[in-house]
Structure 1
Amino acid sequence: MLAVIGVALIVGGIVVYREQRRQELEGSSRGELTPTTEDEPVVVAPTVETPAVPAPTPVAPAEPVTPTSPDVVVEPEVDAEPETPALETPEAPVSRWARLRRRLAGSNNALARALSELLSVDRLDADVWDDFESTLITSDLGVGPATELTEALRSQLAIDGIADPERAREILRAELIKLVDPTLDRSLNLTPAVEGDPAVVMVVGVNGTGKTTTVGKLARVLVAEGKTVVLGAADTFRAAAAEQLATWGDRVGVETVRSDVDGADPASVAFDAVAKGAADGTDVVLVDTAGRLHTKTGLMDELGKVKRVIEKKAPVTEVLLVLDATTGQNGMTQARIFAEVVDVTGIVLTKLDGSAKGGIVVQVQRELGVPVKLVGLGEGVDDLAPFDAEGFVAGILGE
């Protein structure tokens, strides 16, 4: 009996011990504090639910950064060198004139209109000739040349009249060519007086005649002929003039000498441009001067100073006067005064289309005794060409 009771007590103790041990293990897994002695109360920590955290997205390791000192500037990497804009290839002078002649033939200027009307009448009487002469005068041909042409045509057509229109046209063409005078030397003088110096071309004119644009277009003509050119931005009174000229030069790879100071001495800029041309062995230096009113004595005197300063470095081989062909008699007054100040050697006629009066070609040559050397018939970059007397007459006659 005692043996059975002893076995029961041992088994019961084992069961109680295991139950207590199980409870202790479960309490520790839940964060509970199990008392170390029976006298101490059991403190149970509150159960806190931890929210689910999404798995981190894998991130590529950053490239190591090389430390630099504060004074060192790290330039960003450049994938490739920027492409240099391709230079433009100017149109050849020969093809320019053919194109400009076609445009002249399509214009409706007063001289072309007078000639067309003469060839369209059935009978040449005194009234027809009077009207013809009056129209020639209004075309800026001038009284003297208009009278000469009328007299020559009356004597030539007195016998046959215009019964044979082709014959009449031939006579008219011959008399016009004689007036325009193909014997004049219209080539630009680009031969330097001293070997090794550049040829120097000064371009002058009043405000608004398109002088700076003409310099840019002339640079294209010379580049098309295979010459090296330097531009001198001596128009220092107009803020945008130097920038405009530099843009023209950049398009054909021509360097522009300019001042960074507004209102700088134009003679100094012109001198520097010629000096640059001489140092580089350049063929031609084109000097753009400020536009000025022909009535302003001080400005005109300054133009003479620019020329004198340039010639301390190299002689000026050409002085081109830019005239707006639409200004008529006012343009003639300008031409005479400029010629007195700087000894003009050639004329550039711009805007010789549309409303222009083609007779100014003859009149300006008669007044100044210098030839029209270049003519412009539009706004295009290559709408400037060496003047050709026969081509001009053909265009006027609509051929």
Structure 2
Amino acid sequence: MTEYLLIALALLGVLILGGIGLVVPRLRRRPEPRLPRTEVDTRAEEELAGPPVQAPEADLSTGVLVEPPPVIEAPAPTVEVPEPTAGRLVRLRSRLARSQNVFGQGLLGLLSRDRLDEDVWEEIEDNLITADVGIDATREIVDRLRERTRVLGTRSAAELRALLAAELVNALDPGLDRSLRTAPKEGVPAVLLVVGINGAGKTTTCGKIARVLIADGRSVLLGAADTFRAAAADQLETWAGRVGAETVRGPEGADPASVAFDAVRRGIDTGVDTVLVDTAGRLQNKVGLMDELGKVKRVVEKHGPIDETLLVLDATTGQNGLEQARVFTEVVNVTGVVLTKLDGTAKGGIVIAVQRKLGIPVKLVGLGEGPDDLAPFDAAQFVDALLGTEAPGPTA
């Protein structure tokens, strides 16, 4: 019995000693409380560490550190000063003279022949018709030339050339009013509506017209009412930015009439001289699109009458341009024609045909792809460039 008691006491002692061995190391590893930091310690650590360095941000998808891109300030856009329009047609004479291959050189070569018989006069008629002068106008011009050469007894090439120039100038009706009505009236800017078919280069021409107006001292606001093509509004905005003009545009697919209305209202609020509204290109035989163009005109006229409706015609389309002009005139009352692409392959006789058939003056002509290659039209200078000779004034 005594032996069992001793064993139990021995085991109890071992358990007590083991428990003490487990507790004491833990008490020794307990951290001592930190002493309070002083202001001197804080300043010393900051001086040793130096300025803080901001770590680059990490791409959350890959975990790779990405350096932020450098911030580069965009340069301010440079505002261009368009060339003055006075004398611009003369400066572009060489480009217009390229059309002499049919209209000028061919006719002058025929008129320079020693004998002007029936065959020669028929060839002259063919050349004028080929140059898109039109059948009726061609017959009148040739008949007058034949009569005057018979009565006057004219035979020299120089005299015949002068007679031809005079007849062409008369056919262009130099008495037509070719000025652009761009002056504001009673606090309302002048409104110019630009129309035309698809592919005539209308938006580019609209930008060039803005340069013509600014070159003549007008302040201009452009309305991007071609809402079917976002690129058209972007293109117009680029043209406007070059000359420091404002552009009013709407979202793609917006109502063109609404955008045109807002453009004129903005022009009234800002006090500009002229609002130039670019419309969507459309085919003249699409009734729905032409009706929509008529709506644009009616909505804009809530601010006041439209001062000019300019039809952009591609000179290379020939006689088809007459049908375009006729339909557009019926819908929006075209007051003037802008004839583009007259440099190179164009047939200059279309100017005569348009004015004869419709009584609409050609007011501007495009003679190249440069930003200032749009010039006010002058009948005498035009004929002078085509024939390579000084064109006389109109005859009785």
The match for 1:110 among 102, 106, 111 is: 102
Q: 1:157 to 1:282 in 2, by over 3 A?
A: same
Indicate if the aligned counterparts of 2:313 and 2:339 stay in contact, CA closer than 8 A: yes
Give % identity.
61
Indicate if the aligned counterparts of 1:200 and 1:316 stay in contact, CA closer than 8 A: yes
**Greater alpha carbon shift after TM alignment, 173-182 vs 96-105:** 96-105
Match of 1:291, SS state, is coil
Indicate if the aligned counterparts of 1:204 and 1:290 stay in contact, CA closer than 8 A: yes
Post-superposition offset of 1:349: 0.3
Post-superposition offset of 1:159: 5.5
Deviations 1:220-246 (A, max 9, x none): 111111110000000001120000000
Q: 1:109 to 1:301 in 2, by over 3 A?
A: farther
- The letter of the residue matching 2:288 is G
The match for 1:254 among 218, 240, 245 is: 245
Match of 2:82, SS state, is coil
Deviations 1:165-198 (A, max 9, x none): 2222221211111111111100011244x41000
CA RMSD of aligned residues (A): 2.2
Match of 2:277, SS state, is strand
Deviations 1:102-131 (A, max 9, x none): 211233453224322223322111110011
Matched, 1:362 2:352: yes
1:223 is matched with: 214
TM-score (norm. length: structure 1): 0.78
- The letter of the residue matching 2:211 is R
2:82 is matched with: 90
Q: 1:174 to 1:267 in 2, by over 3 A?
A: same
- The letter of the residue matching 2:214 is V
The match for 1:146 among 138, 143, 148 is: 138
Q: 1:64 to 1:365 in 2, by over 3 A?
A: same
The match for 1:306 among 281, 284, 296 is: 296
Matched, 1:292 2:282: yes
1:63 is matched with: 51
Matched, 1:175 2:163: no
Post-superposition offset of 1:391: 0.5
The match for 2:177 among 179, 185, 188 is: 185
- The letter of the residue matching 1:63 is P
Indicate if the aligned counterparts of 1:109 and 1:358 stay in contact, CA closer than 8 A: no
Match of 1:141, SS state, is coil
Post-superposition offset of 1:329: 1.4
Structure exhibiting the larger radius of gyration computed from Cα positions: 1
Indicate if the aligned counterparts of 1:109 and 1:353 stay in contact, CA closer than 8 A: no
C-alpha distance in structure 1 between counterparts of 2:372 and 2:141, whole Å:
33
Matched, 1:210 2:201: yes
Deviations 1:44-95 (A, max 9, x none): xxxxxxxxxxxxxxxx9743579xxxxxxxxx9x999654132111111124
Indicate if the aligned counterparts of 1:114 and 1:136 stay in contact, CA closer than 8 A: no
Give the count of matched residue pairs: 330
**Greater alpha carbon shift after TM alignment, 126-135 vs 112-121:** 112-121
- The letter of the residue matching 2:315 is A
Post-superposition offset of 1:164: 2.3
Matched, 1:122 2:114: yes
Post-superposition offset of 1:285: 0.3
Q: 1:240 to 1:83 in 2, by over 3 A?
A: closer
**Greater alpha carbon shift after TM alignment, 114-123 vs 85-94:** 114-123
Q: 1:182 to 1:62 in 2, by over 3 A?
A: farther
1:271 is matched with: 261
Indicate if the aligned counterparts of 2:315 and 2:339 stay in contact, CA closer than 8 A: yes
- The letter of the residue matching 2:346 is A
